[in-house]
């Protein structure tokens, strides 16, 4: 069933994924309403913006999905920039992954897709790299986007100009079904002690780390990440430097985004911690010692939505009428383009090709509890 102008399709969550999907649906003439509690807490505002399926060492279906999204990102960004009139800060900067030994380098899941570097070549790519790193991989096909300062603003403006309705400061309390089990209404808290019910036959769940609170069947848990930014000289760092526990992402103006801690045990505990910040600075000193001297600009934290296999939940959900676009863990920015396309296609009734069907099947919500056919 397709939502009508009287009954808009509701997107639950105003973060990157919610905005990306709302934008694609609005481009196709769909009436869309975005319900959001507190947009500043969305992972899209706190991520580093790496577009790195190869540098992050993804594998199997997740690597294929990431590569597919990476191919689509230039056109996706062009659409957003055309609709908003704002730049998204897309850069094909390439990413360097340093290693202590060649054995460690060659065992990396995506080693065959990168260019091997010796110490001399590493110093050419990263002149101030720490002394302990003896070899590395360069993934020139990977890049970054300035999600925190540019992409999110551009997406929001594009959505507004396309007629997407926004309901901010509203907490979704629960989803209500009719007697046949079909999604029927969404109950929200709109003020202290006041609730409002929204008629809804179709919705997209983009609530990130909070998704399980609305749909308990979903296996999504929060993983807290603390981050900071430094102001370096312009062009002091031209490539992204990535290690699984620390990464430095240089913007065009010399700002360096540094992330991120990986705190799976703290739940939704907010705030910065001395231990988390110390770990970030230890990582900076290991990768790029000179950067420790650069001025601190900002510190922040957020919550990644993590599934047992760190892959997203896509396609139809456990409630008829509810579509899923959540659980992207640390790859939300990378996967936003393909997630928006796939979700908009299935909602709009576009018949997906075999490749798209296989991606939806690989990331269905119940894959952790059922046996799926081997593709």
The residue with tokens 């992972």 is 43
Q: For residue 234, how far is the Cα from the chain centroid?
A: 26
| Rounded to 5°, angle at Cα 164 from 35 and 207 | 30
Q: What is the pLDDT of residue 2?
A: 36
CB-based contacts of 351, cutoff 8 Å, min separation 6 = none
Residue count of the chain: 375
pLDDT tens digit sequence for 101-135:
999 999 999 999 999 999 999 999 999 999 999 99
pTM metric for this prediction? 0.93
Q: Which fold has domain 92-143+221-305?
A: D-Amino Acid Oxidase; Chain A, domain 2 (3.30.9)
CA end-to-end distance (rounded Å), the chain:
29
- Cis ω before 260 (30° cut-off from 0): yes
Instruction: Give the mean model confidence (pLDDT) for residues 57-86.
Output: 97
According to CATH, the superfamily of the domain at 9-85+148-220+309-362 is FAD/NAD(P)-binding domain (3.50.50.60)
pLDDT of 3 above 60 = no
Q: Predicted confidence band at 7 (pLDDT cuts at 50, 70, 90)?
A: confident
pLDDT tens digit sequence for 249-305:
999 999 999 999 999 999 999 999 999 999 999 999 999 999 999 999 999 999 999
Domain boundaries, the chain: 9-85+148-220+309-362, 92-143+221-305
Half-sphere exposure of 315 (CA within 13 A, CB side): 14
Cα gap 76→56, rounded to integer Å: 22
pLDDT of 325 above 70 = yes
Instruction: Give the mean model confidence (pLDDT) for residues 348-369.
Output: 86
């Amino acid at each position: 069933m397709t939502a009508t102008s009287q009954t808009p399709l509701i997107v639950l969550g105003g973060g990157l994924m919610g905005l990306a999907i709302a934008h694609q649906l609005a481009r196709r003439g769909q009436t869309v309403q975005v319900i959001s509690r507190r947009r500043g807490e969305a992972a899209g505002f706190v991520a580093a913006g790496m577009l790195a399926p190869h540098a992050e060492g993804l594998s199997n279906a997740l690597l294929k999905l990431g590569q597919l999204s990476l191919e689509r990102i230039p056109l996706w960004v062009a659409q957003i920039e055309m609709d908003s009139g704002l730049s998204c800060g897309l850069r094909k900067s390439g990413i360097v992954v340093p290693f202590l030994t060649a054995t460690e380098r060659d065992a990396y899941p995506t080693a065959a897709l990168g260019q091997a570097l010796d110490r001399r070549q590493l110093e050419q790519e990263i002149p101030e790299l720490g002394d302990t790193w003896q070899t590395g991989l360069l993934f020139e096909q990977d890049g970054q986007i300035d999600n925190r300062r540019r992409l999110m603003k551009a997406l929001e403006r594009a959505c507004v100009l396309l007629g997407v309705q926004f309901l901010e400061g509203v907490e979704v309390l629960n989803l209500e079904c009719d007697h046949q089990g079909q999604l029927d209404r969404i109950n929200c808290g709109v003020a202290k002690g006041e609730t409002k019910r929204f008629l809804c036959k179709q919705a997209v769940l983009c609530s990130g780390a909070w998704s399980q609170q609305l749909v308990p069947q979903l296996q999504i848990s929060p993983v807290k990440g603390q981050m900071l930014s430094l102001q370096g000289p312009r062009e002091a760092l031209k490539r992204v430097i990535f290690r699984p526990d620390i990464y430095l992402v240089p913007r065009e103006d010399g700002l360096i985004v540094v992330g991120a801690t990986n705190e799976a045990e703290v739940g939704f505990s907010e705030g910065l911690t001395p231990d988390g910040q110390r770990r970030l600075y230890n990582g900076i000193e290991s990768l790029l010692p000179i950067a420790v001297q650069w001025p601190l600009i900002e510190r922040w934290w957020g919550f990644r939505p993590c599934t047992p296999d760190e892959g997203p939940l896509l396609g139809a959900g456990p409630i008829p009428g509810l579509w899923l676009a959540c659980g992207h863990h640390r790859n939300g920015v990378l996967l936003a383009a393909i997630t928006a396309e796939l979700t908009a296609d299935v909602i709009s009734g576009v018949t997906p090709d075999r490749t798209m069907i296989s991606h939806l099947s690989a990331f269905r919500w119940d894959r952790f509890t059922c046996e799926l056919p081997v593709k």
